[in-house]
Amino acid sequence: MARRWLALVVLALLSTVAGAQDAAPTPTVIHLASEDWEDYTAADGHGLGWDVLRKVFEPAGVKLDIRSVPYTRSVGLVQLKEVDALVGSYRDEAEQVLYPRWNFDSDHIYALGLASNPVPTQATLGKYRLAWVRGYRYENYLPNIKRYNQIERRTGILSMLKQGRADYYIDALTEIEAVVKTAADPAQYRYSHLAELPLFLGFADTPQARALMALFDQRMEQLVKSGELKPIFEKWQQPYPFTRGATKHSTAPTGIHVDRVVIKLFDRYAR
């Protein structure tokens, strides 16, 4: 009887220890990896994205530790559990990455082509040869994609379009605007709105990252409800992404919301 009682005590203690390990305390620092996007997640810490994330975490006692790397590298760092989260991922874009319920912003996705070409729509994308930067996986988020090529960098996009090697280049609006600004004659090109894709943090599968993800969802719910994030978007003259009910997401893959208003944003450096 005594042995049985002792065994029960030991099991109870082990369960308590295991539970304490599973419920990791929230860290005081979140290690984030992001590409250096000017005026968004710049390497020096300025930009809309960093301002939003500071508002989310710092009042809760969590400081941001920023690491600037190419986007594909940021995904790898999360998969290797070397950082807590990557910044600016589309939902379920990467494997071995955890996604929260809340997005923190939205990407305004456009198609860039010659001005002489027809205006593309989601319904007509299948007719055209498309191109985008490797790693973005727009084929998973835009409908009717049939022919596409992934490129390594944004240099040479205008010549690719001009020489007819692709009909349209797909990217976020600010990146496309940066490309068009390099054209000798910008009037030769036109960009058309396609979709709105929510932007997420992608968390590592570790106890500390899970604790930070839970905190992120909790804080985002509070901040969107209170409207405290609106001044940040106003400061950077970018649209507030939570005005149309684009709030928290279920565990199902995120759908695409098409905004019919062409939005002019400030530039940030090409991904």
In angstroms, the Cα distances linking 169 to 15, 94, 110, 180, 241 are: 55, 22, 8, 11, 24
CATH class for the region spanning 24-104+198-235: alpha beta
Q: Which helix (H) or strand (E) holds 178?
A: helix 173-180
Q: Where in the chain is the domain with CATH 3.40.190.10?
A: 24-104+198-235, 107-196
- 85-89 and 189-203: which strand pairing? antiparallel
Cα–Cα distance, 35 to 185 (Å, whole number): 29
Q: State the pairing for strand pair 147-151/129-133.
A: parallel
Helices (H), 44-168: 48-57, 71-79, 157-162
Determine the CATH number of domain 107-196. Answer: 3.40.190.10
Give, for 87, the enclosing helix (H) or strand (E): strand 85-89
Burial class (CB in 10 A: 0-12, 13-18, 19+), 114: middle
The type of residue at 247 is: T
- Would you call 243 exposed, middle or buried from its count of C-beta atoms within 10 A (0-12, 13-18, 19+)? exposed
How does pLDDT run along the chain (271 residues), one tens digit per residue?
555 554 554 455 445 444 444 556 889 999 999 999 888 999 999 999 999 999 999 999 999 999 999 999 999 999 999 999 999 999 998 999 999 999 999 999 999 999 999 999 999 999 999 999 988 889 999 999 999 999 988 889 999 999 999 999 999 988 898 899 999 999 999 999 999 999 999 999 999 999 999 999 999 999 999 999 999 999 998 889 997 544 455 433 333 333 322 233 333 333 3
pTM of the predicted structure, to 2 decimals: 0.74
- Tokens coding 213: 């993800």
pLDDT of residue 119: 97
Amino acid at 250: S
Q: Look up residue 138 and give its amino acid.
A: Y
The angle at the Cα of 85, spanning 83 to 90, to the nearest 5 degrees, equals 140
